[in-house]
Amino acid sequence: MKTIIKKIILIYLIILQLFNPLVVKALDYPIVNSKIIEIYDLTNKEEIYGINSDKITSIASLTKIVTTITAIETIKDLNEQVTITNEILNTVDWDASKAGLKNGDKLTYMDLLYASMLPSGADATNAIAILSSGSIENFVNKMNDLTIKLKLKNTHFVNVTGLDDNNHYSTAKEIRILLEYALNNNLFKQIYQTKQYTLSNGLQVKSTLFKYNNNLLDTSNIMGSKTGYTGNAGYCLSSLSNINSHEFLIIVLNADKIDGKYYNIIDSIDLINFLLKHYNNQILVKKNKLIKTIPIKLSKTKNYKIKTKKNITYYLPDDYDKSKLKIKYEGKEYLTFINKKKDKIGTISYYYNNKLKNKENIILDIDPKISIIEIFKSYFYILLGIPLIIILLRKRKRLN
Topology of domain 286-369 in CATH is Peptidoglycan synthesis regulatory factor (PBP3), Domain 2 (2.60.410)
Annotate 185-213 with DSSP letters as a single string. SHHHHHHHT-SEEE-TTS-EEE-HHHHH-
What digits encode the pLDDT tens for the residues 311-349? 999 999 999 999 999 999 999 999 988 899 999 999 999
Residue 283 has pLDDT above 80, yes or no: yes
187 in Cβ contact with 72 (< 8 Å): yes
Topology of domain 36-280 in CATH is Beta-lactamase (3.40.710)
How far is residue 15's CA from residue 24's CA, in Å, rounded to a whole number? 18
15 vs 58: which has the higher pLDDT: 58
Amino acid at 243: I
Percent of the chain with pLDDT over 90: 78
Residue 301 — pLDDT band, cuts 50, 70, 90?
A: confident
Residue 369 has pLDDT above 90, yes or no: no
Residue 102 has pLDDT above 50, yes or no: yes
- Range with the poorest average pLDDT among 19-33, 105-119, 272-286, 333-347: 19-33
Please give the model's pTM, rounded to 2 decimal places. 0.82
Domain ranges of the chain: 36-280, 286-369
- Report helix, strand or coil for 287: coil
Sign, CA torsion 386/388/389/390: positive
Residue 28 — pLDDT band, cuts 50, 70, 90?
A: confident
What digits encode the pLDDT tens for the residues 218-277? 899 999 999 999 999 999 999 999 999 999 999 999 999 999 899 999 999 999 999 999
380 vs 225: which has the higher pLDDT: 225
The dihedrals phi and psi of 30, each to the nearest 5 degrees, come to -60, 150
| Best mean pLDDT range from 14-18, 362-366, 382-386, 388-392 | 362-366
What digits encode the pLDDT tens for the residues 34-74? 999 999 999 999 999 999 999 999 999 999 999 999 999 99
What digits encode the pLDDT tens for the residues 113-157? 999 999 999 999 999 999 999 999 999 999 999 999 999 999 999
Q: What value does the mean pLDDT take over residues 181-188?
A: 98
Q: What value does the mean pLDDT take over residues 391-400?
A: 62
Tell me which H or E stretch contains 278: helix 263-278
Q: How many Cβ atoms sit within 10 Å of the Cβ of residue 89? A: 17
pLDDT of the residue at 10: 46
- Report helix, strand or coil for 259: coil
355-363 vs 344-352, strand pairing mode: antiparallel
Residue 9 has pLDDT above 60, yes or no: no
394 conformational bin, left if phi > 0, alpha if psi -120 to 50, beta if neither:
alpha
Q: What value does the mean pLDDT take over residues 372-378?
A: 68
pLDDT of the residue at 19: 42
- Report helix, strand or coil for 107: strand
Q: How many Cβ atoms sit within 10 Å of the Cβ of residue 247? A: 17
Residue 14 has pLDDT above 50, yes or no: no
DSSP H helix total and E strand total for the chain: 12, 19
Residue 177 has pLDDT above 50, yes or no: yes
Residue 23 has pLDDT above 60, yes or no: no
Residue 383 — pLDDT band, cuts 50, 70, 90?
A: low
Q: What value does the mean pLDDT take over residues 171-180?
A: 98
How far is residue 290's CA from residue 392's CA, in Å, rounded to a whole number? 51
pLDDT of the residue at 20: 41
